Amino acid sequence: MAVIRDVMPAFDLLQPASAVDAQKLLETYGEDAWVMAGGMDSFDWLKDRIKKPQVLVDLSGVDELKGIRTSGDGVEIGAMTTLTEIAKDPTIRKNYGLLAEAVEHVASPQIRNQGTLGGNVSQDARCWYYRGGWPCYRAGGNECFADTPVGRNREHAIFGANRCVAVNPSDSAPALIALDAKFVIQTPKGERVVDAEDYFLGPEVDITRLHILKPGDLLTAIRIPSTWAGANFYFEKVRDRNVWDFPLMNVASAMKVSGGNIEDIRIAVNAVAPRPMRLTAVEAAVRGRPANATTGEMAGKLAVQGAIPLQFNAYKIPLMRNLVKRAIGGVQETTWTS
């Protein structure tokens, strides 16, 4: 099905000045409202005329959703803070360099200047069948066009497929999971705080969205506790091109090492499943072991157990095995400076 690129569909543009006003607008219009942060995902949908909201709620004027605030308990990042601001922030670079490195791998400098952290973790699936207007399961149809003998599925899932095989495309998501971040959501019933890994949904729960936000909900901030400040971090992203491309796969780990042994660790991968995957079995298996290549080798083999490749993405199994190996065995302590 060809996409007809035309003028955007008509909608009412609403520009609230506060988070309270924004949430009330979203509650009032419900499924007829579209939330726009930096616009990097929104404009694609609107230009392609796939999404046709009644109102567009532009958050660019809500200053309280922007900025990085520090405390003894860690940092709080407004959902509308740009990726460039996060990558350059001295506190983030010094104490939470994993996130700084992850956001620096997003797209291009121009997109990072406009794209926001909230938008990066809340973007939709990038499967070209879905984005191109094909009537797939995720779009309300009755077929996954990528998961067929003739489907193009090189970028798709090797874990967690349930009718839909599209993957989560965020680079910041695995870093936030590894840092044990908390997502702050304003709902019609009040504030809700969830663990980063619980913000994301798989198709077995809801095939129409990648995150838990419902009509009327607004992601306002992301909090990173001081627990993992200054830990040993590792981030790696594999993509076809060094600029702009979404990940074929990425990995993020935060590790505490004592006496050469792994005291504690959190590790997550993305672009292998419909939601970012925290590798809890790997974490449990490597605690207390030396932080070396032998442990990494064992961890990599464990990480890919249960993977089910599609016709064109079997390469993701050895790729994931080696990324996990390097995230554990090849991790080096890094101090980021401004």
Asked whether residue 17 carries a pLDDT value surpassing 70, the answer given is yes
E-only strand ranges, the chain: 12-14, 33-36, 55-58, 68-71, 74-78, 182-187, 190-195, 218-225, 232-238, 249-258, 261-270, 277-278
- In contact, 188 and 27? CB cutoff 8 Å: yes
Domain ranges in the chain?
12-62
Q: What is the mean pLDDT of residues 4-17?
A: 85
The string of pLDDT tens digits covering residues 21-36 is 999 999 999 999 999 9
* pLDDT band of 170, cuts 50, 70, 90: very high
Confidence (pLDDT) at 338? 31
Q: Which CATH architecture has domain 12-62?
A: 2-Layer Sandwich (3.30)
Q: Average the pLDDT over each of 46-50, 111-115, 149-153, 315-319 and give the range with the smallest value.
A: 46-50
The string of pLDDT tens digits covering residues 221-277 is 999 999 999 999 999 999 999 888 999 999 999 999 999 999 999 999 999 999 999
The string of pLDDT tens digits covering residues 191-203 is 999 999 999 999 9
Beta strand 249-258 pairing with 261-270? antiparallel
Beta strand 55-58 pairing with 12-14? parallel
Asked whether residue 330 carries a pLDDT value surpassing 80, the answer given is no
CA–CA gap between residue 168 and residue 249 (Å, rounded): 10
What does the block give as tokens for 76? 């709080």
